[in-house]
Amino acid sequence: MSLPDVFLTRPLAHRGLHDVAAGRAENSPKAFAAAIDAGYGIELDLQLSHDGVPMVFHDYDLGRLTASKGAVATHTAAALGEIALLHDGDGIPTLAQVLAQVNGRAPLLIEIKDQDGMMGQNVGPMGAAAAAILRNYAGPYAVMSFNPHAVAEMQDLLPDVPRGIVTDPYTASDWPLLPAQVRERLRAIPDYAGTGSCFVSHNVADLAAPRVGDLKAQGAHILCWTVKSASMEEQARKVADNVTFEGYLA
């Protein structure tokens, strides 16, 4: 299995082509429409509602992106759909709604957010809920997660779908809640082969890491996050096959 060329030739708009000044919130229908119109691919995130519906939303908590409070997982999908995104006005969309909107017009890089809290095995029902919806989608998509257990689950649920691990240097300052031994293990990206991955999406600031070079030499596709300028993109492409970007037009 390999990542299709469309994921390597179209820059990937991070959470859609969002721009709050233009009224497009991250992970919103407006941001996805703008990415499609501009010819980009789309990176998006999944959290699970209280009633088990995959929602397209990055954070565990509603506070940064909406005027509401509390965890996404404490609200039903219907209630979340009524919560307006700040600087945008649209409600939080479900995965099914976004798939219907995109309808194959852009490749989708779908990140399953860690449901365990500590990158452990307790990934919950998210994977099965997402897979049940994605099986009926004909457009190009790939799945990924920081949590290797979630990636391994997708190997079983969607064996023919490209999958990868979101990777990072896992510094204590960026990941203060993760135990040191967990950070050290994940930093080494030990689960790439065991999860049947065909790519990693690595922190753009750490693309020179020897392990990234080793994986690339072994045939892994290297994506990266999050590129925020043309000059950063130029440097990233010396290693990465493609970029996930925001804040400028890649």
How confident is the model over 222-249, as pLDDT tens digits? 999 999 999 999 999 999 999 999 999 9
pLDDT, residue 215, reads 98
Burial of 15 (0-12, 13-18, 19+ CB in 10 A): buried
With bands split at pLDDT 50, 70 and 90, how would you rate the model's confidence at 126? very high
Model confidence at 33: pLDDT above 90:
yes
What CATH number does the domain located at 6-245 have?
3.20.20.190
Q: Report how far residue 32's alpha carbon sits from residue 27's, in angstroms, rounded to the nearest whole number.
A: 7
Q: DSSP H helical segments within the chain, as ranges?
A: 6-9, 29-38, 77-81, 95-102, 126-134, 148-157, 180-187, 210-217, 230-236
- Residue labelled with tokens 């994940």: 186
As beta bridge partners, residue 242 has 223
Tell me the percentage of the chain whose pLDDT exceeds 70: 100
What is the mean pLDDT of the segment spanning 145-170?
98
How confident is the model over 177-226, as pLDDT tens digits? 999 999 999 999 999 999 999 999 999 999 999 999 999 999 999 999 99
Q: Report how far residue 38's alpha carbon sits from residue 16's, in angstroms, rounded to the nearest whole number.
A: 11
Strands (E), the chain: 12-14, 41-48, 54-56, 108-112, 141-145, 163-167, 199-203, 221-227, 242-245
Going by C-alpha positions, the residue among 100, 94, 82 that lies closest to residue 129 is 94
Model confidence at 1: pLDDT above 90:
no
As beta bridge partners, residue 54 has 48
Q: Which sequence spans correspond to the domains of the chain?
A: 6-245
pLDDT, residue 36, reads 98
Give the mean pLDDT of the chain.
98
